[in-house]
Structure 1
Amino acid sequence: MESVIVLLNRDLRVHDHPALTEASACARSVVPLFVLDPALRGGHRLGFLHETLHDLRSSLRRLGADLVVRRGDPVAWAVRLATEIGASAIWTSADVSAHARRRERRLSEACAAQRLQFRLFPGVTIVPPGELTPASGDHYRVFTPYWRAWTGARRRPVLGTPPRLRLPQGVDPGELPPVDRRPYGILRGGETVGRWRLDAWLDLRLAGYRDGHDKLTEDETSMISPYLHFGCLSPLEVAGRAAGLPGGEDFVRQLCWRDFYHQVTLAFPELPRRDYRPRQADWNDDEDAAQAWREGMTGVPIVDAGMRRLRAEGWMHNRARMIVGSFLTKRLNVHWRVGGEHFADLLLDADVANNWGNWQWVAGTGNDTRPNRVLNPLRQAKRFDPDGDYVRHYVPELAGLPASLIHQPWKASPRVPGYPPPLVPSWTMEA
């Protein structure tokens, strides 16, 4: 095979990249192509993405190739480049969102029209979505049976870095967009930093994950979710390295949840727009309440701390996501789509599958087997931020309150200036 175009999307790495590895073995030259698609939501993730692309270009250059960057329609550019260089194939990693699947269908049709080979490769998940199916249906609707099937599933081997890649002569790599780290500077993008973060966390913090991962004030979570979202890290490699280590099973279970929602999204691509399991509820169309929630001004400190961290850092602890989501959908009764859209704008790790799957779970319209559960934010705060350090850090106007009042500032006398009363009656949280 003379040349292969490898269209990159959410697989921005050189380690354990099945499409790149196969192309390096089968073709004389390879074009690793990334197209900046204006049809995709960018939001605050663009700085992280651009930093990731710079890192990927450096890695590919060390292998003898380069990252080819274009702007526009990925399908049109892939076919155009294939025609220009006389490539015989276009390969890409399979994904599950409605947008990704439309892109794959269009690419398949365009390749057929141009007599180009088209192939989809694994790599976005650990077990390919759709590979595991229950006897009673097309996908698993409950996590625990999926977990049992998933733990026993055969997995492909983790691949190394391709030994050598060669870019065809005459291909202009194109210019990368500049890196703008505003407004976030907490997590740097790229495979290099992602692998360093993973190494350090597995060595130093994984052992405490079982007991500490729900505590809001301790960094017992890996914070690698943005690197998984952009494919800077291979989820298969991450799971393989964590398995067998102290604390590893609990962590791998969370990776399984990621796979679970990908197989749900493959079967139900309307997940971001329509109830997976309809909930008999009249949603409250209260934009003022929704905006107070977005700004972290609900008057409930644990909720406001999570929302302010999201705006400042582009990340939120998983326990905080559950608390703020339950507050929006179950106490303010605001539609889950409002929360999901806000998270999709601000989160660095906003996978379509996981973001919307989690929002439907917390709203009682998704895969939760207890759809009527309501998290009490005050109880959650006292359990997972008992001294109030998390709240003090992200809601500084409350920093002077003692631990006995930090989560109930409405009891303080005098009232904390500038901080609002709770949007819901305080007695509903204190009962």
Structure 2
Amino acid sequence: MSATIALFTRDLRVHDNPVLSAAHQAGSTVVPLFVLDKRILGSTFNSPNRAKFLAESLAALDKELRDIGGRLVIRHGNVVDEVERLVGELDATQVHIASDVSRFSHRRDEALRERLQGRCEMHTHTAVHTVVEPGDVLPTGTRDHFAVFTPYLRRWSSADKRRTLGKPRSLSVPNIRGDGLPKQSDICPGDTSPNLASGGETVARKLLKDWLAGPIESYHEIHDDLFGDATSKLSPYLHFGCLSATEVVDRVDGTTTGGDAFIRQMAWRDFHHQVLAARPDATTADYRDRHDRWRDDAKAAEAWKVGRTGYPIVDAGMRQLLDEGWMHNRARMITASFLTKSMYLDWRIGAQHFTDLLLDADMANNIMNWQWVAGTGTDTRPNRVLSPMRQAERFDPDGEYVRRWVPELADIPGGLVHKPWDAWEDTHGYPDRIVDHAEGAAHFQAMRNG
């Protein structure tokens, strides 16, 4: 009997999973394998919030596999060592894995291919994490990547997409050793945000079904409404691969205005993946060097992290992040602009804080969105500065979002929460503004132009 290995990374699903489908087709027995890599567990990318979500997603994946006769095999250690060991135990003929864009994944795959050479075939599958594989859509006449979104979107929209796959009807898994399903504390001990979304494919598919049943129709009109919070909330499930980006786009009706607007956001996700694939150093280095001389102010950075800047709309976003491990996309833009362009603090501080807390903080989207807002990335207007007051008036006009997340201001009526302090009768201990936005923006502009 031939044995194959389906090595799961961040594709924790049985529906539309090219890795699992190919391993199932190639072998009479399949080992669905997930390795808790000690290098990731010991890195700054590991966090209690995502550890909890990951543990739930692995448990859900195990249940989905058991429903078709399989199970998830968990191992701890170095991925390359554990896969090699398993190949030896089974005399496996093939290993299947999804390609990814990070420098870590490239090095892991190269090391694994070298270790298995001459012993076992290794198959890397594309378009598992994205709709269009990074590198498949290129500007005419060049092998370089798209650095501007709009021309990328045009090419992405007409690109060939792979067909959506069903889940295997049944699996046969050999009798081999596996560690128990991990708990959050096994992956990353520590306190989590109190109101995290639950992980796993089952939750993800219900969320997608409910989203497509109606809310998506008005997405184009209300996706920026901070209090209404009418976004899909699918991003954590896409990050962990509990949902397939290809299936999501395939199921969205792109002929409707809401569906078209949502598909555009999925294209943004792919855009950032292709940028990072071409420039893996952008995880830590400026994509476009603006020669910034960022201020060093740990006290100000901490005030921003805990939502005590004195700007209600900024503080509301930061407190939502602390509570839910998630933040509305518009709030992400506001808080990121405030840190980098009003406070003139390094975007890496913000990117790491988001990495510490966000469930959906993958390398491509978190880093490239931060660089976009900071003006060191792909934004064609790198020096634009978002006014927190103007943003609040547009996207939280009645102050409902602020009052939800900043309870000190709960009795201040309507949009008055966005007005100057002297308009308030009692601030209930709300802090003074940490910086004057106008002065901060002028300093930013002077530093960029100087």
TM superposition score normalised by structure 1: 0.96
Q: Which of 131, 134, 139 does residue 129 from structure 1 map onto? A: 134
Answer yes or no: is the 8 Å Cα contact 2:341–2:441 preserved in 1.
no
1:413 and 1:228 map into 2 onto residues whose CA distance is: 42
Point out the more displaced range, 393-402 or 420-429. Answer: 420-429
Secondary structure, counterpart of 2:417 in structure 1: coil
Q: Which of 141, 151, 155 does residue 149 from structure 1 map onto? A: 155
Which residue in the other structure is 1:14 paired with?
14
Q: Which of 241, 256, 260 does residue 231 from structure 1 map onto? A: 241
Q: What amino acid sits opposite 2:80 in the alignment?
A: V
2:24 and 2:312 map into 1 onto residues whose CA distance is: 53
Q: Which of 44, 52, 71 does residue 47 from structure 1 map onto? A: 52
1:430 and 1:145 map into 2 onto residues whose CA distance is: 30
Which residue in the other structure is 2:422 paired with?
411
Q: Which of 161, 164, 169 does residue 167 from structure 2 map onto? A: 161
Which residue in the other structure is 1:171 paired with?
176
2:411 and 2:255 map into 1 onto residues whose CA distance is: 41
* 1:183 positional shift: 2.8
Answer yes or no: is the 8 Å Cα contact 1:377–1:429 preserved in 2.
no
Answer yes or no: is the 8 Å Cα contact 1:405–1:411 preserved in 2.
no
* 1:104 positional shift: 0.8
Which residue in the other structure is 1:29 paired with?
29
Secondary structure, counterpart of 1:6 in structure 2: strand
Question: Does the alignment pair 1:107 with 2:112?
Answer: yes
Point out the more displaced range, 21-30 or 47-56. Answer: 21-30
Q: Which of 327, 335, 341 does residue 316 from structure 1 map onto? A: 327
Secondary structure, counterpart of 2:33 in structure 1: strand
Q: What amino acid sits opposite 1:337 in the alignment?
A: R
Answer yes or no: is the 8 Å Cα contact 2:80–2:111 preserved in 1.
yes
Secondary structure, counterpart of 2:14 in structure 1: coil
Q: What amino acid sits opposite 1:381 in the alignment?
A: A
Which residue in the other structure is 2:209 paired with?
199
Q: Which of 208, 219, 222 does residue 212 from structure 1 map onto? A: 222
Which residue in the other structure is 2:195 paired with?
185
Question: Does the alignment pair 1:116 with 2:127?
Answer: no
Secondary structure, counterpart of 1:406 in structure 2: helix
Q: What amino acid sits opposite 1:397 in the alignment?
A: E
Q: Which of 263, 267, 283 does residue 274 from structure 2 map onto? A: 263
Q: What amino acid sits opposite 2:13 in the alignment?
A: R
Change (3 A) 1:398 1:301: same
- How far does the alpha carbon of each residue in 1:164-222 deviate from its partner, in whole angstroms, 9 at most, with x for none? 11101x31232011357943434110000000000001112001100000010113200
Identical residues among aligned pairs (%):
50
Change (3 A) 1:420 1:103: same
2:159 and 2:415 map into 1 onto residues whose CA distance is: 49
Q: What amino acid sits opposite 1:121 in the alignment?
A: H
Question: Does the alignment pair 1:92 with 2:97?
Answer: yes
Question: Does the alignment pair 1:281 with 2:289?
Answer: no
Answer yes or no: is the 8 Å Cα contact 1:272–1:337 preserved in 2.
no
RMSD: 1.7
Q: What amino acid sits opposite 1:167 in the alignment?
A: V
* 1:417 positional shift: 2.8
1:167 and 1:16 map into 2 onto residues whose CA distance is: 20
* 1:413 positional shift: 4.3
Point out the more displaced range, 76-85 or 177-186. Answer: 177-186
* 1:245 positional shift: 5.4
Q: What amino acid sits opposite 2:294 in the alignment?
A: W
1:408 and 1:287 map into 2 onto residues whose CA distance is: 28
Answer yes or no: is the 8 Å Cα contact 2:338–2:388 preserved in 1.
yes
Answer yes or no: is the 8 Å Cα contact 1:300–1:408 preserved in 2.
no
1:80 and 1:407 map into 2 onto residues whose CA distance is: 60
2:370 and 2:323 map into 1 onto residues whose CA distance is: 21
Answer yes or no: is the 8 Å Cα contact 1:378–1:430 preserved in 2.
no
Unaligned runs of 5+ in 1: none
Answer yes or no: is the 8 Å Cα contact 2:344–2:440 preserved in 1.
no
2:260 and 2:294 map into 1 onto residues whose CA distance is: 38
Change (3 A) 1:76 1:163: same
Answer yes or no: is the 8 Å Cα contact 1:216–1:319 preserved in 2.
yes
Point out the more displaced range, 406-415 or 386-395. Answer: 406-415
Change (3 A) 1:404 1:11: closer
2:419 and 2:307 map into 1 onto residues whose CA distance is: 15
Question: Does the alignment pair 1:375 with 2:386?
Answer: yes
2:161 and 2:424 map into 1 onto residues whose CA distance is: 60
Secondary structure, counterpart of 1:405 in structure 2: helix
| 1:314-353 alignment, distance < 5 Å | 314-353=325-364
Answer yes or no: is the 8 Å Cα contact 1:14–1:161 preserved in 2.
yes
TM superposition score normalised by structure 2: 0.92
2:154 and 2:437 map into 1 onto residues whose CA distance is: 42
Answer yes or no: is the 8 Å Cα contact 2:35–2:77 preserved in 1.
yes
Q: What amino acid sits opposite 2:156 in the alignment?
A: W
Answer yes or no: is the 8 Å Cα contact 2:412–2:424 preserved in 1.
no
Runs ≥4 in structure 1, deviation > 3 angstroms? 179-182, 412-415, 426-431
- How far does the alpha carbon of each residue in 1:72-125 deviate from its partner, in whole angstroms, 9 at most, with x for none? 11111111111111101111000001111111111111111x521011012111
* 1:5 positional shift: 1.1
- How far does the alpha carbon of each residue in 1:8-27 deviate from its partner, in whole angstroms, 9 at most, with x for none? 11100000001111111121
Q: What amino acid sits opposite 2:110 in the alignment?
A: R
Which residue in the other structure is 1:68 paired with?
73
* 1:423 positional shift: 1.4
Point out the more displaced range, 147-156 or 277-286. Answer: 277-286
Q: Which of 124, 134, 145 does residue 139 from structure 1 map onto? A: 145
Unaligned runs of 5+ in 2: 186-190, 443-450
Which residue in the other structure is 2:445 paired with?
none
- How far does the alpha carbon of each residue in 1:253-305 deviate from its partner, in whole angstroms, 9 at most, with x for none? 00000100101011000112100011132111111111100010000000000
Q: How many residues align?
A: 429
Secondary structure, counterpart of 1:39 in structure 2: helix
